[in-house]
Amino acid sequence: MDRREFTKLSALALAGTYLPIDAYGAANKQIGYAAVGLGTISDIFMRACANSPTAKITALVTGHPETKGVKYSEMYGVPKTSIYTYETFDRIRENADVDAIYVGLPNSMHCDYTVRGAQAGKHVLCEKPMAISSAECRKMIDACGQAKVKLMIGYRVQYEPMWNQAIGIVRSGGLGQLESFQGGFFGQQPAGAWRLSKALGGGGALLDLGIYPLNAIRHITGEEPANFTAVLATRERSGRFSEVEQSMEWTMKLPSGILASCGCSYGQRGPSSLAINGDSGYLVMESAFNYEGVRLHGEVGGKQIELASTEKHPYQFKIEAEHFADCIRNNKEAATPGEEGLKDMLAIEAIYGAAGAPIA
Amino acid sequence: MDRREFTKLSALALAGTYLPIDAYGAANKQIGYAAVGLGTISDIFMRACANSPTAKITALVTGHPETKGVKYSEMYGVPKTSIYTYETFDRIRENADVDAIYVGLPNSMHCDYTVRGAQAGKHVLCEKPMAISSAECRKMIDACGQAKVKLMIGYRVQYEPMWNQAIGIVRSGGLGQLESFQGGFFGQQPAGAWRLSKALGGGGALLDLGIYPLNAIRHITGEEPANFTAVLATRERSGRFSEVEQSMEWTMKLPSGILASCGCSYGQRGPSSLAINGDSGYLVMESAFNYEGVRLHGEVGGKQIELASTEKHPYQFKIEAEHFADCIRNNKEAATPGEEGLKDMLAIEAIYGAAGAPIA
């Protein structure tokens, strides 16, 4: 065993013993997150933690330590010594104030930083999509398992209260037997956005937006879709969509026979919605996947129903941050662990395959 | 030429000269309809005509002349001598009060009664779906052409004012370039309904309900969908769906690259809706295809829009009846002629084919 191997093994051993169950025994001990990548989504996550009793930003990882790093360190009271670059990232291992990392990087960097975070002995809350291939997802799960750290994927919709109310209606039989879903999530990505780069995004709108109805359908039914059809289109010729598709529509069939059709796009406006149809009633979530303004309407037990969330952005991120903090504190598995991200990625690969445009 | 051929030719000649343009010159001369089949849909059509200044029920065709026939003749002031059975139907030729027939029969009877109506020299307003195969549609178009009578298919949504407002927004560029559609129409057919019989319905929910989003998409874009994928499911094992499928979801791609996904079912509840997505805005019609309560919401020019129709059922049927009356009176082609029904049927055949369940 050479020095390098010894160091690695020691790190793993350390990680494995890093978290005695009572380490967070004090009820007011906040879980410390290092925000990895200080883009839009991390900005939201940090705001969400700012008024949380159980989660706190304790470190920053950025390519711009002097500007972004300093700005956010002052904003959230992070010591200057806890500002890291991507080069110094692995030294986060030595920072006892960091319990977990929040990976808010472009999709193609999720795997690398999750693995390195795990190897540094930190729990990992990684944004969706988990990665850009199922192989990467497996690598991330393995790395966290070996390091004995927890891995959670940021499926914020699974933590959203109005959604959980809807799912309660579905699971209590309010719609009868489930029959089908129709969903969609559409948006516009400006020219030059990293999401339009195949190297950074890994794929198009399916990975980033289509994953919402996909994950919701998998979550609600507890089933893994088996049969897929899909069709892609790029109408716009501006060059924005030279690397990833503009739009996609697809169908899925679940093992029980439940059907679904969904759409997504990086180059169109459209409703963010999911229709959940049963044999005796239905719910339409719209807007379904937005940061706030989640609403539902439909027919339950022969009666019209309509409900709207009044919670304010970034409440979904706050719930997420606190859920994972609770998991860390009480040594519980996250409700949306790495396996959840892997299952979505397997479906995404199958959908791209059905469209004749395999990504992996 | 034998007697039979001579009679036929005479009838055709008569039909061809039956309608000089000024035959309906008097503004208050109502167009007389014979209602063929006195089921639910004809009941609606007759109610719609009851308070129309330009359309009127002047004859009835029914298998139950003594009961249904008498009932409706008294209700709408139809002479008892103008009650026909399916056996005596062809004698409608001699009834000068009948300008047109309204075919409200099960799908598999549309072709036969349209052809016979045309051969009797009557214009034909036939319910959708036009027939149960494209071959039948062509036969109907040919028969009406040969008899020089007009043929209109009852696509009530194309005549609906709120829809026309929505289409005005789309056509004036309010959504930018069109990118995709997501639509659905779902309902429950009770056990024993003729629509669940392959022999009478000709197919399942696609023919009866899926045709609504299909037709709307074709109408809005003016394009014929070219590429289809489709998936069928029958979860229910009650026996209701032993002849036709319970549910279907499908995707289409139009020649311009516009995408669509749609669903329909005879065995589920769900929203009746169509999302119309452009690159700068979108509209959601919901409910889209119901007899009343048509609503739309969305985003046009960066602003939220919401509109609801206050018109009362059976206004859609009244507009239809009066449109065709106007066509007859002024010798115009119907906005939804037989060719429109044929094009839908070609798409429907392609969708069933894509699902691996060809119907023709």
The 10s digit of each residue's pLDDT in A201-227 is: 999 999 999 999 999 999 999 999 999
Q: Are strands A83-84 and A55-61 parallel, antiparallel or unpaired?
A: parallel
Beta bridge partners of A307: A296
Domain identity same for B115 and B196: no
**Does residue B221 sit within a domain?**
yes
Range of the domain at B61: 3-154+318-335
Say what the pTM is: 0.92
The 10s digit of each residue's pLDDT in B272-297 is: 999 999 999 999 999 999 999 999 99
**Does residue A346 sit within a domain?**
no
Domain identity same for B135 and B173: no
The 10s digit of each residue's pLDDT in B121-137 is: 999 999 999 999 999 99
Asked if A24 has any chain B CB less than 8 Å from its own CB, the reply is no
Domain identity same for B108 and B128: yes
Instruction: Provide the residue type at A91 as one letter.
Output: R
Q: What is the mean pLDDT of chain A?
A: 93
In sequence order, the 6+-apart residues with CB closer than 8 A to the CB of B328 are: B19, B24, B31, B99, B100, B123, B150
| Res. A318: pLDDT tops 80 | yes
| Res. A343: pLDDT tops 50 | yes
Q: Of all residues in chain B, what percent carry a pLDDT higher than 70?
A: 92
B234 vs A contacts (CB less than 8 Å): 257
> Which amino acids of A are annotated catalytic?
128, 212
Half-sphere CA count of B8, side-chain side, radius 13 A? 9
- Looking at residue B359, what is its pLDDT? 75
Question: Would you tell me which residues 185-244 of chain B have a C-beta closer than 8 angstroms to some C-beta of chain A?
Answer: 186, 188, 227, 229-231, 233-236
Q: Which CATH number fits the domain that encloses residue A247?
A: 3.30.360.10
Taking each helix axis from N to C terminus, what angle separates B134-147 and B338-354, rounded to the nearest 10 degrees?
170
Asked if B275 has any chain A CB less than 8 Å from its own CB, the reply is yes
**Does residue B89 sit within a domain?**
yes
| Res. A321: pLDDT tops 80 | yes
Domain identity same for B9 and B77: yes
Mean pLDDT of B85-105: 98
Q: Which CATH number fits the domain that encloses residue A96?
A: 3.40.50.720
Residue B263 has its nearest CB partner, among A180, A229, A257, at A180
Predicted confidence band of residue A25 (pLDDT cuts 50, 70, 90): low
**Does residue A129 sit within a domain?**
yes
| Res. B8: pLDDT tops 80 | no
Domain identity same for B288 and B165: yes
Of A2 and A99, the structure prediction assigns the larger pLDDT to A99
B259 vs A contacts (CB less than 8 Å): 231, 233, 247-249, 263
B262 vs A contacts (CB less than 8 Å): 261
Asked if A285 has any chain B CB less than 8 Å from its own CB, the reply is no
Do the Cβ atoms of A248 and B259 come within 8 Å?
A: yes
d(CA A323, CA B86): 70
Tokens of A172: 């209590």
Q: What does the DSSP assignment read for B46-114?
A: HHHHHT-SSEEEEEEE-S-IIIIIHHHHHHHT--GGGEE-TTTGGGGGG-TT--EEEE-S-GGGHHHHH
Domain identity same for B188 and B242: yes
**Does residue A344 sit within a domain?**
no
Which SS3 state, helix, strand or coil, does residue A314 take? coil
- Looking at residue A24, what is its pLDDT? 54
Domain identity same for A200 and A262: yes
**Does residue B92 sit within a domain?**
yes
- Looking at residue A35, what is its pLDDT? 98
**Does residue A182 sit within a domain?**
yes
In the sheet with B100-103, reading across from the earlier edge strand, the strands are B83-84, B55-61, B31-36, B100-103, B123-126, B151-153
In sequence order, the 6+-apart residues with CB closer than 8 A to the CB of B242 are: none
Asked if B67 has any chain A CB less than 8 Å from its own CB, the reply is no
DSSP A92: G
Number of domains in chain A: 2
Domain identity same for A11 and A102: yes
Query: What is the ipTM, given to two decimal places?
Result: 0.91
- Looking at residue B130, what is its pLDDT? 98
Predicted confidence band of residue A358 (pLDDT cuts 50, 70, 90): confident
Domain identity same for B142 and B165: no
Burial grade of B163 (CB within 10 A; 0-12, 13-18, 19 or more)? buried
Cα angle, residue A289 at apex, residues A287 and A294 outer, rounded to 5°: 45
The 10s digit of each residue's pLDDT in A118-137 is: 999 999 999 999 999 999 99
- How far is the CA of A16 from the CAs of A3, A12, A121, A143, A148, in angstroms? 20, 6, 8, 12, 5
**Does residue A352 sit within a domain?**
no
Between A and B, how many CB-CB pairs are < 8 A?
Answer: 172
Domain identity same for B141 and B254: no
How big is chain A by its Cα radius of gyration, in Å?
21
Tokens of A274: 């999911």
Mean pLDDT of B187-212: 96
Domain identity same for A135 and A232: no
Domain identity same for A178 and A130: no
